[in-house]
Amino acid sequence: MEIVQNLLIQSNSSSLIEWRNNVKQHVTGLNELFYENGRFTQTVSNTFNESSSLIVFAEQFLGEQLMGLLSLLDKEGTQTVRLYSPELIENTVVIRLALSNQNLGLKESLAQFCQQQVIDFALMPQFPDWSQPGLVLMDMDSTTIQIECIDEIARLYGVGEQVSAVTALAMQGKLDFNQSLRTRVGKLKDAPVSILQDVADNMPLMPGLLALIKNLKKSGWKVAIASGGFNYFADRLKQDHGFDAAVSNSLEIKDGMLTGEVTGEIVNADVKKRTLSELAEQFDIPMSQTVAIGDGANDLLMLSASGMGIAIHAKPIVQEKAEVSINHTDLQGALCILSAAHQDNSWA
């Protein structure tokens, strides 16, 4: 495997995709590729049993970054790493590494390394199976779209600073969500309903959303919204982009004006968690095949209840507790994780 080692060293400043192509060109009969005792090999000293899977991805992923990652794993006591062939998924470079073992501090070390290298990772004993039906349940504000709708309504109505300050505290988990929502909505009393349409017509989608939805549908997965925001916007997203369900709050409207009240049950953290299990049951999907994606404290319960919880550009409290955090790529990172986790060994 000296050729593989040299090709990676030579490709330090090149993409992993170029390294992969060079390996396939120069190494005949390559089936499995391992990293053990600081070297690449096709035969390992003991029978290889995967204890966990590491998926690493970035828009720019270089050979020197892979070398640094493999050195880190070796230093952290991972005895054997099986490397799958790097892939290009929606303009993002992805590599899956199967680990023979992992020490308790590995995830923290990986987080520090990946933050420095501006790459993302997911480390789990087992990922949802992309080849089987599944469900992705997403938060809406700052997750499927790039804004907080209530802050935009407030800004157009002239009470933006008052409302956004409360929103920030609620998303950090520093305020009771139900009370904070009622407080914020109360400041919108007598706002014309036309403001809602203005916001809905200009909702900026989170990058990667459409690619994620397209590929989820292609693979037979369901995708839904559970939002502490409002159904005026969630239903519009469902209609325009093919979500299978949308659960959110209802703003009371009378005579073309907002009353400053929310009607019905408030979609808080408990309701989001319940929605995950209800939709899984409705679509006949096991909980191990569910993925939840969110960014705020209101998402923590559904993240922890899902088969895989993903924090997307999230508040610190959410990153700290979520199983997976995406900090540098966008929503197509979720697609990378799901797709790469089911990847066959494609070196052959």
Which residues form the catalytic set? 139, 141
Query: 164, 154 in Cβ contact below 8 A?
Result: yes
CA separation (Å) from 261 to 167, 212, 251? Answer: 16, 34, 6
Side chain identity, residue 313: H
Q: Using CB atoms within 10 A of its CB, is residue 256 exposed (0-12), middle (13-18) or buried (19+)?
A: exposed
C-alpha of 97 from chain center: 18
CA separation (Å) from 134 to 206, 221, 285? Answer: 21, 5, 6
Report the half-sphere exposure of 158 (CA within 13 A, side-chain side): 4
Side chain identity, residue 139: D
How many other C-beta atoms are found inside a 10 Å radius of the C-beta of residue 275? 22
Side chain identity, residue 52: S
**Helix 63-75 crosses helix 106-117 at what angle (to 10 degrees)?**
160
Alpha-carbon gap, residue 129 to 274, rounded angstroms: 22
- Helix (H), strand (E) at residue 107: helix 106-117
Alpha-carbon gap, residue 19 to 66, rounded angstroms: 11
Alpha-carbon gap, residue 23 to 202, rounded angstroms: 47
3-state secondary structure 152-176: HHHHHHCCHHHHHHHHHHHHCCCCC
